[in-house]
Chain A
Amino acid sequence: MAGKSRKGGSSLWPMKASHALLMQGVALLIGGLVIAWFAQNAASNLARRSMQLDFGFLGSPAGFSMPFQILSFGPTDTYFMALVTAFANTLLVSAMGVITATVVGLGLGVMRLSHNWLLSTVSGAIVELVRNTPQLLQIVFWYVGVLQVLPQARQSLSFGDVAFLNIRGLFLPAPIGGPWSSVLLIAFFLSLALAPLARRYLPLHPRRSSLLWLVPPLLLIALAFSLKGWSLPALKGFNFAGGMVLPPELVALWAGLSLYTAAFVAEIVRASVEAIGKGQVEAANSLGLSSWLTLRLVVLPQALRLMIPQLTNQYLNLIKSSSLGAAIAYPEIVQIFAGTVLNQSGRAIEVMVIVMGVFLIINLAASAALAQLNERVALKER
């Protein structure tokens, strides 16, 4: 939207730069007035009911507990900690969903492009079925239709007496950390993140710098030795105690989110691959590359550029749809914070503002990260 094209007279609505500035100012003013009007409305309504905007409730104890969390949270923690814990649960299922949706979607997309009739038909059927039914319905289906037919706690499927599967979830042995375990765990993740950066920026010989990749596995081995032991799940009272559990709510939401998004990802993959000129494939074939190598080395790298902006939309949708977990008792931010906390504290406006802010932050961050990736892979015109 540079001024240049405007002056050329080819623009839809030719105007001088000063006029354009004026129009933008007017638009900004109208926008500002609308927002001010909303604020005034909310403020006067609040005043009429003698209520004030107050975020102080975040410091009071929550009193309730959550059935599943990756951070530790108990009834004596504050509402703020409830927010953080529910936020972590939302992030967990979103991250799991984005990864599986990408992998499954890529698989389905490539399958659909295949010349093998069976593969492409199966993929097409899955994509159309999943894409054309409501997502909430699918999540409830996974939860009620698939996972609730699992056996009761006392008739669990046992895997070598260390892992158990029943309607309450998948129970796995959990490591019991020693004094150094958490430090080593953090070091492991840091090394994973820093190794590529170090390889790029440290003045090392390529062959020597690839030795850096030995650091993470070494840390992992050290971590294994630092453990005190394993906590095994065992049937106790109503349910299994000990170990760790993958609850069916998480699995159902994960499956529902990833499969639904995977169907769209598959279509994006297919469209992007088909957008790559036929000549590219023919050139690769004439060089003697196999069809797999053609796909991997010639087509996919170019198609990736086209995919990223569309994938961004799908990922953002997936993150927002994680709030559907409220329907099947997954303790994510909408259920816990906009449900339980809102109801207990009665701070409807404050709670909704926080929840919207949180989603805005997650999505802006995700979209910024993908925009950066897009910039890196985009065709550099020189």
Chain B
Amino acid sequence: MTKARRTLLKTLALFAGSVLVSASAMAQSIPAPGPTVEAIKKRGELNCGVDAGIPGFAFQDASGAWKGFDVDYCKALAAAVLGDPAKVKYVGTTAKVRFTVLQSGEIDVLVRDSTLTFARDIDLGLTEVAVNFYAGQGFMVRKSLGVNSAAELNGATMCMLTGATLELNIADFARSKGTTINSLLFEKSEEAFAAAESGRCDGYSDDTGSLAAARSTMKVPDDWVILPDVISKEPLGLHTRDGDYRWSDIVFWVDAGLKTAEEFGITKENVDEKKSSSDPFVRRLLGLEGDFGKKLGLDNEAFYRAIKSVGNYGQIYDAYFGPKALGLPRGINNLWNQGGLHYPLPFR
């Protein structure tokens, strides 16, 4: 016993030492494109962590192919780094394990309707790269209850999934209003939907994007109404591990590239024609001027390939949340010049 304890102490001392060493190593600069991209290229595949299955963000169709808003982000990254949007290994992650999988290096990037928060940035040792979907927690209730706003939910019970911060947001909201809202936590959406459907709860709570998806799976979607109030800020986005800022830079600028493409009217269809454009921003984005791709450690066609394979930000949104899909109005997910919040940094 004492021997084992001594070994443990030694290990702990060793571990304290290595913390110091790695802290000093952190200050050094990494040559582009960084170890993560080197590893991806060697592997010939991008390991992309996505949601294990939720309409809109990431799901598998009848043939088992991955589809969705977040999945398209994986494709864009693979197109930029490896030149082929198909070279992605999708790792479906649950809310509980998503960050552990990223920390352990099993995936290169997490694109999984996950909120960017302080705790995840600082406590979990992750990098909050970019927001690709502005959501907020909302409520879906039965129309027959006659509730018009979240403020009228005093004493109500809400079904929701565990593993996120939904119950915390609800408790915070109720406390701020001096009311009580009970939350019933389920591990899987099937049981949560069944409980809401049967009337065990007065409604269902989740991020606005997921609520639209949940409503579409109800027996009679028209019996349900999504309340207009949003009780929390849920900037969903892209996470990478701390320690390779070059890779985080690439992820950041691919996201900015997709949004810039929408800003300048570049689509999946017209990207080749746009190469003859005289607009300097278009020319820089498509790799005709300025060596932006090369400076990231990729090649100058990187952004062109990303746009060519999945389209611009607006096209991705419309494909999964647009009127023909889940029918979620773009609202704050519009570009800044359309009244939304997406404001890509300029390519210059």
Instruction: Contacts A65-B183, A148-B198, A238-B155 given; indicate if A140 touches B191 (C-beta within 8 A).
Output: yes
Inside 8 A of B23's CB, which chain A residues have their CB? 50
Determine whether B18 belongs to the interface, using a CB cutoff of 8 Å to chain A: yes
Bound CA–CA A344/B19 (angstroms): 25
Min CB–CB distance A309 → chain B (angstroms): 29
Bound CA–CA A47/B182 (angstroms): 39
Determine whether B3 belongs to the interface, using a CB cutoff of 8 Å to chain A: yes
Inside 8 A of A78's CB, which chain B residues have their CB? none
Bound CA–CA A305/B187 (angstroms): 41
Pick from B100, B123, B195 the residue with the most CB of A within 10 Å: B195
Are A346 and B119 in touch, CB under 8 angstroms?
yes
Bound CA–CA A335/B192 (angstroms): 14
Are A64 and B15 in touch, CB under 8 angstroms?
no
**Of B3, B19, B184, which contacts A32 at CB under 8 A?**
B3
Are B163 and A49 in touch, CB under 8 angstroms?
no
* Stretch of B167-175, B217-225, B280-288 lying at the A interface: B167-175
Pick from B23, B125, B174 the residue with the most CB of A within 10 Å: B125
**Of B100, B123, B183, which contacts A67 at CB under 8 A?**
B183
Bound CA–CA A45/B18 (angstroms): 10
Inside 8 A of A143's CB, which chain B residues have their CB? 191, 195
Determine whether A216 belongs to the interface, using a CB cutoff of 8 Å to chain B: no
Bound CA–CA A46/B174 (angstroms): 37
Inside 8 A of A237's CB, which chain B residues have their CB? 154-156
Determine whether B95 belongs to the interface, using a CB cutoff of 8 Å to chain A: yes
Determine whether B22 belongs to the interface, using a CB cutoff of 8 Å to chain A: yes
Inside 8 A of B120's CB, which chain A residues have their CB? 346
Bound CA–CA A144/B14 (angstroms): 52
Are A64 and B168 in touch, CB under 8 angstroms?
yes
Determine whether A214 belongs to the interface, using a CB cutoff of 8 Å to chain B: no
**Of A39, A40, A335, which contacts B162 at CB under 8 A?**
A335
Instruction: Contacts A43-B15, A326-B187 given; indicate if A75 touches B175 (C-beta within 8 A).
Output: yes
Bound CA–CA A45/B103 (angstroms): 9
Bound CA–CA A248/B107 (angstroms): 40
Interface residues of A in 18-71 (CB under 8 A from B): 32, 35-36, 39-40, 43-52, 63-65, 67
Instruction: Contacts A65-B167, A144-B194, A339-B163 given; indicate if A43 touches B199 (C-beta within 8 A).
Output: no
Interface residues of B in 65-108 (CB under 8 A from A): 95-96, 99-100, 103-104
Tally of contact residues, B, Cβ under 8 A:
60
Instruction: Contacts A39-B11, A50-B125, A167-B200 given; indicate if A343 touches B164 (C-beta within 8 A).
Output: yes
Are B184 and A49 in touch, CB under 8 angstroms?
no
Are B8 and A36 in touch, CB under 8 angstroms?
yes
Interface residues of B in 1-54 (CB under 8 A from A): 3-4, 7-8, 11-12, 14-16, 18-19, 22-23
**Of B159, B185, B199, which contacts A335 at CB under 8 A?**
B185
Inside 8 A of A346's CB, which chain B residues have their CB? 99, 119-120, 123-124
Are A327 and B191 in touch, CB under 8 angstroms?
yes
Binding site secondary structure of chain A: helix
Are A36 and B11 in touch, CB under 8 angstroms?
yes
Are A36 and B198 in touch, CB under 8 angstroms?
no
Are A340 and B167 in touch, CB under 8 angstroms?
yes
Inside 8 A of A148's CB, which chain B residues have their CB? 194-195, 198-200
Inside 8 A of A152's CB, which chain B residues have their CB? 199
Determine whether B252 belongs to the interface, using a CB cutoff of 8 Å to chain A: no
Interface residues of B in 170-218 (CB under 8 A from A): 170-172, 174-175, 180, 182-188, 191-192, 194-195, 198-200, 202
Bound CA–CA A329/B183 (angstroms): 9
Determine whether B242 belongs to the interface, using a CB cutoff of 8 Å to chain A: yes
Instruction: Contacts A49-B103, A148-B198, A346-B123 given; indicate if A339 touches B162 (C-beta within 8 A).
Output: yes
Interface residues of A in 308-339 (CB under 8 A from B): 326-329, 331, 335, 339
Are A239 and B184 in touch, CB under 8 angstroms?
no
Determine whether A241 belongs to the interface, using a CB cutoff of 8 Å to chain B: yes
Tally of contact residues, A, Cβ under 8 A:
50
Determine whether B165 belongs to the interface, using a CB cutoff of 8 Å to chain A: yes
Determine whether B157 belongs to the interface, using a CB cutoff of 8 Å to chain A: yes
Instruction: Contacts A39-B11, A46-B15, A236-B155 given; indicate if A327 touches B186 (C-beta within 8 A).
Output: yes
Bound CA–CA A109/B174 (angstroms): 50
Inside 8 A of B164's CB, which chain A residues have their CB? 343
Min CB–CB distance A322 → chain B (angstroms): 14
Instruction: Contacts A43-B11, A63-B172, A248-B200 given; indicate if A327 touches B19 (C-beta within 8 A).
Output: no
Inside 8 A of A36's CB, which chain B residues have their CB? 4, 7-8, 11
**Of B16, B157, B170, which contacts A168 at CB under 8 A?**
B157
Instruction: Contacts A63-B168, A67-B157 given; indicate if A32 touches B7 (C-beta within 8 A).
Output: yes
Are B22 and A144 in touch, CB under 8 angstroms?
no
**Of B95, B124, B125, B171, which contacts A65 at CB under 8 A?**
B171
Instruction: Contacts A238-B157, A241-B155 given; indicate if A40 touches B167 (C-beta within 8 A).
Output: no
Min CB–CB distance A157 → chain B (angstroms): 14
Bound CA–CA A99/B65 (angstroms): 49
**Of A39, A167, A339, which contacts B185 at CB under 8 A?**
A339
Inside 8 A of B188's CB, which chain A residues have their CB? 327
Are B165 and A344 in touch, CB under 8 angstroms?
yes
Instruction: Contacts A44-B15, A343-B165, A346-B119 given; indicate if A67 touches B184 (C-beta within 8 A).
Output: yes
Instruction: Contacts A237-B155, A239-B155 given; indicate if A340 touches B182 (C-beta within 8 A).
Output: no
Inside 8 A of A140's CB, which chain B residues have their CB? 191
Are A329 and B185 in touch, CB under 8 angstroms?
yes
Complex A-B, nearest 10 residue pairs according to Cβ-Cβ distance, in ascending order: A148-B198, A43-B15, A36-B7, A329-B184, A237-B155, A75-B171, A64-B167, A339-B162, A32-B4, A40-B11
23 of the cross-chain contacts (CB-CB < 8 Å) are A32-B7, A36-B4, A45-B104, A47-B18, A48-B22, A49-B241, A50-B242, A52-B19, A63-B168, A64-B183, A67-B182, A144-B198, A153-B199, A167-B199, A236-B155, A327-B186, A329-B191, A335-B185, A339-B96, A339-B187, A343-B95, A344-B168, A346-B120
- Spell out A's residues near B (CB within 8 Å): 32, 35-36, 39-40, 43-52, 63-65, 67, 75, 140, 143-144, 148-149, 152-153, 167-168, 236-239, 241, 248-249, 326-329, 331, 335, 339-340, 342-346, 348
A168-B157, A237-B155, A241-B155 known; 15 new pairs, CB 8 Å cut-off, are A36-B11, A39-B7, A40-B14, A44-B15, A45-B104, A50-B23, A50-B242, A64-B167, A67-B185, A168-B200, A238-B145, A239-B202, A249-B184, A329-B192, A343-B95
